[in-house]
Amino acid sequence: MPTFFGKKTWTISDIYNTTQERQFKSVGCTVNYLGVSRSVKSTSILDKWKSLFFRNKSLMKEIEVVFSFQVISNESGKTYPVKIQLLYDPFGNLIEAGQIKIYCGCPDFKFGSAYVLNNHDALFKSEKTDIDLGPAITTAPKKKRDGILCKHSYAALRYLIQNYNQLMSYV
């Protein structure tokens, strides 16, 4: 299990292997896959240093893929957008120890997940999501809850893991 207050960067398996209760709740969601986009990861100073050291810039290129979903809660009928960003693996395998970034548009995610995920470098960010989440990114949640993710983002992540090969064929 991941530690909530450690500063470790969370991986897919850290986030996915949360409590049973959340997995049970996410069953009551319908996941619609909307599409995927890819982009070459912006180069950090460390990456620049590495590329100089290894003298092979192509090796250092990392491609991010962002999957978009629409998740409907069967209970409330409410629909929320979910984004999941992964690093593209040219071999087509899901790297469970790989980095992941997640976003959901629901209040439960905003006030229960955003802060914790951000602390572990696992919050998906864009101009739009930054505006939507606002101070929730830097404000600790008032109460601790049973899992890291809201049920929508958990359902989307499960869908992504179960249909990974098919979804990657669209990339």
List residues binding Zn ion (CB under 5 A).
Answer: 104, 106, 109, 150, 152
Q: Minimum Å distance from CB 84 to Zn ion?
A: 12
Nearer to Zn ion among residue 67 and residue 109 (C-beta)? 109
> Smaller CB distance to Zn ion: residue 148 or 168?
148
79-87: strand order across its sheet: 29-40, 63-73, 79-87, 100-104
CB of 154 to Zn ion, least distance (A): 8
Q: How far is the CB of 31 from Zn ion (least distance, A)?
A: 12
Pick the closer one to Zn ion by CB: 109 or 159: 109
In the complex, least distance from residue 25 CB atom to Zn ion, rounded to whole angstroms:
11
> Which one, 116 or 168, has the nearer CB to Zn ion?
116
